[in-house]
Amino acid sequence: MTIKGWNGKVDQRGGLVAENQATFHPTKYLVGVLAWLKEQPNFRCFTRTRVTSVSEKGVEMLGFGHKSVEIETESGHTVKAEHAIEATCVPLQKLSVITQLEFYRSYCIAVRVPRGSIEDCLLYDNAEMYKYTRLTACDEKDDYLVVGGCDHKVGQEETTPRFDELEAWTRERFPQAGKVDYKWSGQIFEPADYMGMIGQNQGCQRIYIITGDSGDGLTHGVLAGRLIADEIDGVENPWAKLYNPKRLLSMLKTLPTIISHDLQINAQYKRFLQTDITDIEDLVPGSGGVLNMVSPPAPDLTMAILTAAGNLKAVGGVQR
């Protein structure tokens, strides 16, 4: 395997090639979907509207009775519907589906490379916390090489070294890489059995969820449009069982992983009992720290920052 533009010392010859893949621009895609929806007679879109709860009302059993859905908003409005879909990354209901997800922070950088110098393809390495590359337009002179990866569990590691690692990895393989113009990170939800959850929410008949995307939300969004539409219409879909959020067997097989993950996450709350500094005087200009002002079991944590000019700022506290 030879990749145009990979001129670094790292060997690139071994690899699996998957033909006939595709990429699409996420913003242009969403604009197109919205334009089509606006042409539909019953479509209505409410922006800047925070939903606080989605619940089923009524009783429906063995073909008798009827259930519906009520959606409540922060402003006090109630929307009634036959079905509701939560395309919210994490479902609003606090059901067991939450415990079946692992939460990771993922990182990206956008590096300038001479236009046309690197082959337009999707690259992935085979590390456990893998890295990947994409190409996208920049200007008449350069392309952007988007490089991502370096995932870790949310809130449990330093973030800055991850950007440095991505940049070093890129320059080792693509010496022509220029200035890093953008850096960003996002949260990824990984199901314990590695398969996304698309369909009826656990314990529900008329509420549907889309979660556990593993960073493939755009792909899952397209897939979910068909899966959930078929489920509502009563059309059998051969992929429905694979993505069913109510699946039990695969989750039971991964139960040790789920328990280990949940224990490890809950262990992070020991932070409530810890302190970085014992007194404001411990700070030097341009530094900050968490000050635990009260002993457990009721700590009051305040983030104190001493600016370079010597001004003290208390960012906020966490009380329990």
Looking at the fold, whether 24 and 166 belong to one and the same domain comes out as yes
- Tell the residue number behind the tokens 């979907």, with chain if given: 33
The count of structural domains within the chain is 2
Q: Please, what is the average pLDDT of the chain?
A: 83
Residue 137 falls within a domain, yes or no? yes
176 is a domain residue:
yes
pLDDT interval class at 303 (50, 70, 90) = low
Same domain (yes/no): 90, 116 = yes
pLDDT, tens digit (0-9, with 9 covering 90-100), for 130-156:
899 999 999 999 999 999 998 888 777
Residue 264 has pLDDT above 80, yes or no: no
The reported pLDDT for the residue numbered 28 is 92
Question: If we measure between CA atoms, which residue out of 272, 219, 260, 247 comes closest to residue 97?
Answer: 247
Q: What is the pLDDT of residue 179?
A: 95
280 vs 302: CA distance, rounded Å = 11
Same domain, 122 and 222: yes
Residue 266 lies in a domain: yes
Task: Indicate if the pLDDT at residue 243 is higher than 80.
Answer: yes
> Do 267 and 279 fall into the same domain?
no
Model confidence band, residue 320 (pLDDT cutoffs 50, 70, 90): very low
Last-in-domain residue among 271, 291, 307:
271
Q: Of 271, 286, 306, which residue sits at a domain end? A: 271
- Residues 99 and 156 placed together within one structural domain of the fold: yes
Compute the distance between CA of residue 119 and CA of residue 174 in angstroms, rounded to an integer: 11
Same domain for 195 and 281, yes or no, is no
Those residues whose C-beta lies under 8 Å from the C-beta of residue 233, and which sit 6 or more positions away, are: none
What is this structure's pTM?
Answer: 0.74
Tell me if 164 sits within 8 A of 141, measured CB to CB.
no
Asked whether residue 209 is assigned to any structural domain, the reply reads yes
Residues 143 and 17 in one domain: yes
60 found inside a domain: no
Torsion of CA 243, 65, 233, 69, to 10 degrees: -70
Residue 65 falls within a domain, yes or no?
no
The reply to whether 52 falls in a domain is no
Quick one: 237 and 256 in the same domain? Answer: yes
Percent of the chain with pLDDT over 90: 37
In which order are the strands placed within the sheet that holds 207-211?
Answer: 84-89, 207-211, 197-200
Residue 189: which pLDDT band, with cuts at 50, 70 and 90? confident
Provide the pLDDT for residue 216: 84
Q: What angle do CA 135, 184, 276 make, to 5 degrees?
A: 155
Specify whether 181 is located in the same domain as 315: no
**Residue at which a domain ends, from 236, 254, 271:** 271
* DSSP E strand stretches across the chain: 51-61, 64-73, 78-81, 84-89, 101-114, 123-124, 131-137, 142-153, 180-191, 197-200, 207-211, 287-292, 300-306, 312-319
Structure confidence by residue, pLDDT tens digits, 66-101: 889 999 999 999 999 999 999 888 877 655 777 778
Which whole number is the average pLDDT over 157-172? Answer: 89
DSSP 139: -
Note whether 289 and 258 are same-domain residues: no
**Domain contains 241:** yes
Do 18 and 138 fall into the same domain?
A: yes
232 and 209 inside one domain = yes
| Full residue range of the structural domain in which residue 162 is found | 1-45+83-271
